[in-house]
Structure 1
Amino acid sequence: MPAKPITLGPMKFAKRGDAVAFLTAMLHRYDEGDKVSADDAVILQATVENHPDSAKKIGCGISSFSVRSADYGTKCFWVNRSDGTTEKFSIKASIHSG
């Protein structure tokens, strides 16, 4: 199966696996509880917009992103919505949904 390129904001990846690797490395630069930088947030916004449940994940709008704990002792990116609610999202679901 040929590689499927993907664009996330200003970033272009020749194949989806490269995007997953890039986002996973980004995740590991942050500690739990950290707010994501504005530059990284641009890429994450495009990532969550690609998620199959993007409308549910985004909700009323995104105010920021953070890194928090997830299932089974892992950590993941969380959408912080403008109404104060939060929602976690999967990097892999966002990248491999198209």
Structure 2
Amino acid sequence: MSKGQPIKIATRQFTKKGDAVAFFRAMLNRYKPGERVSDEDGKDLAALLRRHPDAEDKIGPGINHFEVMSADYNTQCFWVVRSDETIERFSFVACLGAESRDG
């Protein structure tokens, strides 16, 4: 049986990728589309977003806050609201699949 690869971000450490996916999926499901993510959850999301393969483009001029909004196929996802008021959606799964960058 293979052992899972640990996942580390600046705010948390997970024993394996599946634990991190479950954590962020539960966080996503705590919110309804249109809701602003709490500042506490936002700290974890900011650390996670730094692991995204396109982190620099996603973060842009800086992070103001995060929201949950509707996405394709009747789903929802996290969106970063940047300091210049522009928004960008991102996949938490893509962030967890990125090469290890301590976020």
Normalising TM by the smaller chain, what interval? over 0.9
TM-score between the two structures when normalised by the length of structure 2? 0.90
CA deviation vs aligned residue, 1:17-59 (integer Å, no higher than 9, x gap) = 1101100000000011110011100100011100001011001
Q: Partner of 1:65: helix, strand, or coil?
A: strand
Q: CA deviation at 1:12?
A: 1.1
Unaligned segments of structure 1, at least 5 residues = none
Contact 2:11 2:47 (8 Å CA) reproduced: no
TM-score between the two structures when normalised by the length of structure 1? 0.95
Match of 1:43 in 2: 44
| Letter paired with 1:48 | L
Matches within 5 A, 1:1-98: 1-98=2-99
Measured in 2, the distance between the counterparts of 1:96 and 1:20 equals: 10
Unaligned segments of structure 2, at least 5 residues = none
Give the aligned length: 98
Measured in 1, the distance between the counterparts of 2:83 and 2:46 equals: 14
Measured in 1, the distance between the counterparts of 2:71 and 2:49 equals: 16
Runs of at least 4 residues off by over 4 Å: none
Measured in 1, the distance between the counterparts of 2:11 and 2:86 equals: 27
